[in-house]
Homo-oligomer: A and B are copies of this chain.
Amino acid sequence: MDVLDWGGAAGIEAEEFLVFPGMDELFALLEVNRHARSGEYDVLVVDCAPTAETLRLLSLPEVLSWYFEKVMPTERRLMKAARPILTRLTDLPVPEDEVFVAAQSVFISIESVRELMSRPEVTTARLVVNPEKMVIDEARRTYSYLGLFGYGVDSVIVNRVLPDLVSDPYFDRWRTIQKGHLDVVDDAFAEVPRLRLRLFDDEMVGVERLRVMAGELYGDRDPIYDFKAVSPFRIVEGEAGVTMELDVPFVEKSELDVFRHGHELFVRVGPYRRSFILPDALHRREVTRARLEGGTLQVSFGDPEGGR
């Protein structure tokens, strides 16, 4: 334990930075990226926190990219213009251009991790649910938001399923309730493999017990290579023109918004939003239609020069 008078505020700012909202996720992402780029692994498993936190983590590259591309350049130019005058006028601290250069290098790492995470042949998500109504509802929302951010889901694991060998009548009603929820899971996530894991009679901690768990869960399947995810994002060229498709299952029309602003298309699902930079080929095409069909958002672009 240290008791000391700090020399200046600089130390405090560096400390404070660490507890500022979003910073822990940022450092977590940069760590994931560092490990991924090191090549020293067979598979990287990121055991994610509950939904809200995980989505915050997964949407951070998007949010930060937006800030770094739209807001920071303006701030930087503003400072460049103002710095000589400000330093003569006042003795207040004026951010040096190096601050922006340093921020730029963080941005490059974020772009790198975003690139890595949005390729379904490299990165997939595996959803784990308990057979409880609220948990399953949350998993559905998560699935939609993952789609929005371009993350592919490769399987759904239902954990804590009451095993058949339990005969105690205390659990009869519970078993009936679980059965209903298992059916809901099978319906809702029909397009991806669904695995089940029983409610164990022990705390499944330590490598030995995790091995038992893996055996019951995956059987003969390879936990890594036997599960594939499909990208929820596609550009489809047809006779009628070009269509951008985004799988956002379980989303209602009312929760969905599509906006175009210049060369960007903004899609919002519930509280989350993502911008898609339009490919050059689409720059001069108008959006002719946006519709939601079978859990897929389809945004159609007309011919260039306003024809169709």
Q: Which residues of A contact B (CB under 8 A)?
A: 1-6, 9, 12, 15-16, 18-22, 24-25, 49-50, 52-53, 56, 59-60, 63, 66-67, 70, 74, 77-78, 81-82, 85-86, 89-90, 92-94, 132-133, 163, 165-168, 170-174, 177, 201-203, 205, 253, 256-261, 266, 268, 271-273, 287, 289-292, 299
User: 24 A–B contact pairs at CB < 8 A?
Assistant: A1-B256, A2-B259, A3-B287, A3-B289, A3-B290, A4-B260, A6-B259, A9-B261, A15-B268, A16-B66, A16-B67, A16-B273, A19-B63, A19-B271, A22-B22, A49-B52, A77-B90, A77-B92, A78-B90, A165-B170, A168-B168, A168-B170, A173-B202, A174-B202
Cα A69 to Cα B90 in complex, Å, equals 20
| A interface SS class | mixed
Question: B173 contacts A166, CB within 8 Å?
Answer: no
In the complex the two chains form, what is the Cα distance from A177 to B203 in whole Å? Answer: 8
B271, A63: Cβ atoms closer than 8 Å: no
Contact yes or no, B163 A259, CB < 8 A: no
Please, how many angstroms separate the alpha-carbon atoms of A24 and B272 in the complex? 11
CB atoms of A253 and B85 under 8 A apart: no
CA distance in complex: A253, B90 (Å) = 43
